[in-house]
Amino acid sequence: MSAPSRCIAAAARGFKSIPVARISHRTITSHTSTPAASLRQAIGGNTTCLRALQRAKEESSKNGAGRIRNFTQSASRSKLKTIDQIRARNKGGPFNLTAAILFVAASAGLWAYFRHEKERMARKRIAEQTKGIGKPKVGGPFQLIDQDGRPFSSDDMLGKYALVYFGFSHCPDICPDELDKMALMYDKVVAECGNVLLPIMITCDPARDKPSVLKEYLTEFHPNFIGLTGEYDNIKDTCKAYRVYFSTPNNVKPGQDYLVDHSIYFYLMDPEGDFVEAIGRNFTADQAAKVIRDHIKDWEKPLKKEMRWQ
């Protein structure tokens, strides 16, 4: 027999002589045998090498994790696969749709506030221009009678804003147009601010505009209009106080025909009897009503809202 054959036969006899371990069912249940323990028994001395290899692997993984520093907890863009993930990422950023809307809203609010304050300060300057020393005063005390024949003075204007217009009942075109506009202005202001405005027309033609004539004339424009008339000298002094020009002749004969020329303005007076602003023909009814409403809203003191004329 050759040498290789003798070696193989010897090895076979050696394996046959090794007793086979028989493990009963009782032994498995009574002893705590684990797969790891069986593995250690099988590999014997290699256990130490496996432990060392495992520790080296753990240390390598720890060192690798320490070198990588994450600056965000959100998923990377390469891992975003659904619409919900993309929306969730966009919501977390500093610049998104919500931030843009808030920025625009805040900017619009600041712009509106500063514009309102600028207009309010401009109105305040206009209202105080005639109250300073050396300024020509517009308005003043007067004693006249209304369309019902009752006395009416400048004191009756206190506590409310007053819109004063100078005209006459025989005016062919300008006065009717302005009184129509005055009626629109008055209704718009009262609808928003309440009964805080007195619409007053003072005649420049006292010889023909008696109380009964004014009453009939003004009812065609608005039932709340107040018509004032009086003696020629009283009307002249009132026009002078309001810086109103008029060319009505004195001592006219009954039935005499003549023309009257006068200034065409609405004079806005505050509740203390001071002049606020003159509104000319270039203002529409809406524009003039807005000017009056803004001045009324700027007023910080109490206003009388009860009805005097009933």
- Taking alpha carbons only, the member of 309, 50, 34 closest to residue 195 is 309
Side-chain-side CA neighbours of 159 within 13 Å: the count stands at 8
User: What are the C-alpha distances in Å from 142 to residues 123, 241, 279?
Assistant: 27, 9, 22
171 is in an annotated binding site: yes
- Are 199 and 163 in contact by the 8 Å Cβ rule? The answer is yes
* Tens digit of each residue's pLDDT, the chain (310 residues): 545 455 555 555 654 555 544 544 444 444 445 554 554 554 555 555 566 667 766 766 665 544 545 555 555 555 556 766 666 665 555 566 777 787 788 878 877 766 766 666 665 665 566 555 555 578 889 999 999 999 999 999 999 999 999 999 998 889 999 999 999 999 999 999 999 999 999 999 999 999 999 999 999 999 999 999 999 999 999 999 999 988 888 877 777 778 888 889 999 999 999 899 899 999 999 999 999 999 998 887 767 655 433 3
Domain 143-298, CATH number (from 3.30.420.40, 3.50.50.60, 3.40.30.10, 1.10.1740.10)? 3.40.30.10
Distance CA 115, CA 61 (A): 64
Burial 19-28 (b: 16+ CB within 10 A, else e): eeeeeeeeee
Task: Specify the pLDDT at position 52.
Answer: 64
Task: Specify the pLDDT at position 256.
Answer: 77
284-295 pLDDT tens trace: 999 999 999 999
- Scan for tokens 């009782």, then name that residue: 26
193 is in an annotated binding site: no
Task: Specify the pLDDT at position 13.
Answer: 61
Task: Specify the pLDDT at position 288.
Answer: 95
262 is in an annotated binding site: yes
- Are 151 and 145 in contact by the 8 Å Cβ rule? The answer is yes
Task: Report DSSP state, residue 13.
Answer: H
- Are 200 and 228 in contact by the 8 Å Cβ rule? The answer is yes
pTM: 0.58
Show me where the domains of the chain are located.
97-131, 143-298
